[in-house]
Structure 1
Amino acid sequence: MSEGNSYQQDNPIMKRNLLLCVDAFGTLFRPRSPIAEQYGSVARSMGVTISDDEVAKSFKTAFKEVSKSYSNYGKATDMGARQWWTEVITKTFQPHHPGPLPSSLTPNLINRFWSKEGYTAFPDVLSYLRNLSSQPSRLPSASPRLVVGVITNSDDRVPDVLSSLGLRVNHLRHGSKIEKEAMQEQPQTDIDFCIMSYDVGCEKPSSEIFDAATSMLGSILAAEGTEFEKQDWDLLYVGDEVKKDAQGAIQAGWDAVIVDRGGEKDLAYEGDAPGVEGFIEVEGKQVVILDSFEALGSFGGYGLLEIE
């Protein structure tokens, strides 16, 4: 392969059905400001004397401690994500505050990071997904068909965060029971389902979490009266990390694309297609690095991602 080869040359525009799944944190949205700064600002407004550096160090210790005691955000013990985060927040601030913590501190921080108050969407996300949702390929009767999902290492906050940021999210998730009648009444959505490690019980790069997405696709199609035939579908995962996102997807039998969100990428080849910064080799496959999320519509990999 020579420098400058475009993705489209090796991967001609597909005409088959496409399942597009996307990472959430770091790809679709990010904190409005560093989490330690937000934690510190809220705590100080309630009378807790603590610096942002102290918050960062204490939070890291608390997170590790609670994760060790209650894995997967407490799902296995039925603790639930809210109580899990209550433990983390308490252990973060209690060493720096004599006496009981302010009663409103924990609910304030939990609610902040369950919504757009704590997070903001990357500027290239909302318009592209909204435009993509209006394409003819997004209709259940379409041929070829495009289905859009999220696969993320997270607790169950993600659908609410995405909705708060302005995306129309179908709250189908791993383990959901899908009724045919309910599917027929579903309004138009930008995200058809969310697969979270909290529900599946494992994290990327495990193939199991990607398999949960194809299983969800099969359930959706079955509720619509059709069957999932793997040979008729292309599977594409988009994220911002090489190991968890690209490597995990490829090991699960998917294709992968990386969106450059500011991390350093060791490009093996420079790109020459619209929006393509270059390529890297992952698990023996060529993975394209895009300069923005909306470049999915122009880089030449999948025709169904183009905006008509």
Structure 2
Amino acid sequence: MLRLRLVTWDVKDTLLRLREPVGLSYAAEARSHGVQLQPEALSRAFRAAYAAQSRRFPNYGRAEGLSSRQWWLEVAMETFRLSGVREDAVLALMAENLYRDYCNAHSWELLPGASETLSCCRRRGLRMGVVSNFDNRLESILLRCGLRHHFHFVLTSEAAGVAKPDPEIFRTALRLGGALPEQAAHVGDDYSRDYRAAREAGMHSFLLHGHGRSAGPEVPPGHVLPTLSHLLALIEKG
């Protein structure tokens, strides 16, 4: 049985996921301004804009003095530019609306078992925290989705100044959680950023491997979570 004191959690696609694909949300926003765009094309444009912005200004441009709000507004405007929208005033308004909408609970839904698993972990006396490559809206999103009260701390890459898979963000989490690496475990859905990075910081880790993806041969079966509800049994089994 693992002697855990702290469990840290990824958020997006681990505890929460978007209710609808980005392309659908962007297309709906465009329609409200009389602009007809195809969701599939918007999804491709978003991926391109996001990738380019991430390369140019990693971790929301924190090291370059950008705010995450500026960072995301530019991603949204570039998504629409790549889709053929040229009017600057409309671009700015649509970007602002989407930035605000993604902070609201209606844009997100809990993954199956998320609330129940978090509640069970709390009842067993585990300290919990969030370690997420997210911007400073995350506190508000967790609050509005009814999850914030589960966590002793919420550590975003924007606040930490370093992003997963850098193990330094996990070392910061360990300090915040008052735990040694061997007393802590991380739960996430990404092999590199969550599973392997936490282990490089000396922590235990579990990989949520739904969504039809393979966990890979380098992850022992005892470290794989088919659903979040499997976590407690694996912790107890050790």
Q: Is the 8 A contact 1:23 1:240 kept in 2?
A: yes
Map 1:50-61 onto structure 2 (within 5 A). 50-61=37-48
CA separation of 1:106 and 1:302: change in aligned 2, threshold 3 A: same
Let me know the Cα RMSD of the aligned residues.
2.4
2:51 maps to which of 41, 44, 64:
64
1:202 maps to which of 162, 167, 172:
162
| 2:155 counterpart SS class | strand
CA separation of 1:63 and 1:38: change in aligned 2, threshold 3 A: same
Displacement of 1:200 in angstroms is 2.1
The CA distance in 2 between the partners of 1:264 and 1:67, in whole Å, is: 24
| 2:185 counterpart SS class | strand
The CA distance in 2 between the partners of 1:199 and 1:87, in whole Å, is: 20
Q: Which residue is 2:191 aligned to? A: 242
The CA distance in 1 between the partners of 2:30 and 2:223, in whole Å, is: 42
The CA distance in 2 between the partners of 1:164 and 1:260, in whole Å, is: 26
Q: How many residues align?
A: 236
Give deviations 1:165-210, integer Å, cap 9, x for gaps: 111x2xxxxxxxxxxxxxxxxxxx3011112111222222221111
**Identical residues among aligned pairs (%):** 27
The CA distance in 2 between the partners of 1:132 and 1:32, in whole Å, is: 26
State TM-score, norm by structure 2: 0.88
Which residue identity lines up with residue 264 of structure 1 in the other structure? R
Q: Is the 8 A contact 1:26 1:261 kept in 2?
A: no
Displacement of 1:293 in angstroms is 0.7
CA separation of 1:17 and 1:255: change in aligned 2, threshold 3 A: closer
Displacement of 1:253 in angstroms is 0.6
Structure 1 unaligned blocks of 5 or more? 1-12, 138-145, 170-188, 219-227, 268-279
Which residue identity lines up with residue 109 of structure 1 in the other structure? L
Which residue identity lines up with residue 227 of structure 2 in the other structure? S
Displacement of 1:130 in angstroms is 2.8
Displacement of 1:236 in angstroms is 0.5
| 1:26 counterpart SS class | coil
The CA distance in 1 between the partners of 2:221 and 2:85, in whole Å, is: 52
Q: Which residue is 2:200 aligned to? A: 251
Q: Which ranges of 4 or more aligned residues in structure 1 deviate by more than 6 Å? A: none
Q: Which residue is 2:177 aligned to? A: 217
CA separation of 1:17 and 1:97: change in aligned 2, threshold 3 A: closer
Q: Is the 8 A contact 1:150 1:194 kept in 2?
A: yes
The CA distance in 1 between the partners of 2:204 and 2:214, in whole Å, is: 18
| 1:117 counterpart SS class | helix
The CA distance in 2 between the partners of 1:127 and 1:193, in whole Å, is: 19
Displacement of 1:32 in angstroms is 0.3
1:113 maps to which of 75, 92, 102:
102
State TM-score, norm by structure 1: 0.69
Which is further off, 248-257 or 110-119? 110-119
1:99 maps to which of 82, 87, 107:
87
| 1:302 counterpart SS class | helix
Q: Give 1 or 2: higher helix fraction.
A: 2
Could you say which structure has the larger radius of gyration? 1
Displacement of 1:291 in angstroms is 2.0
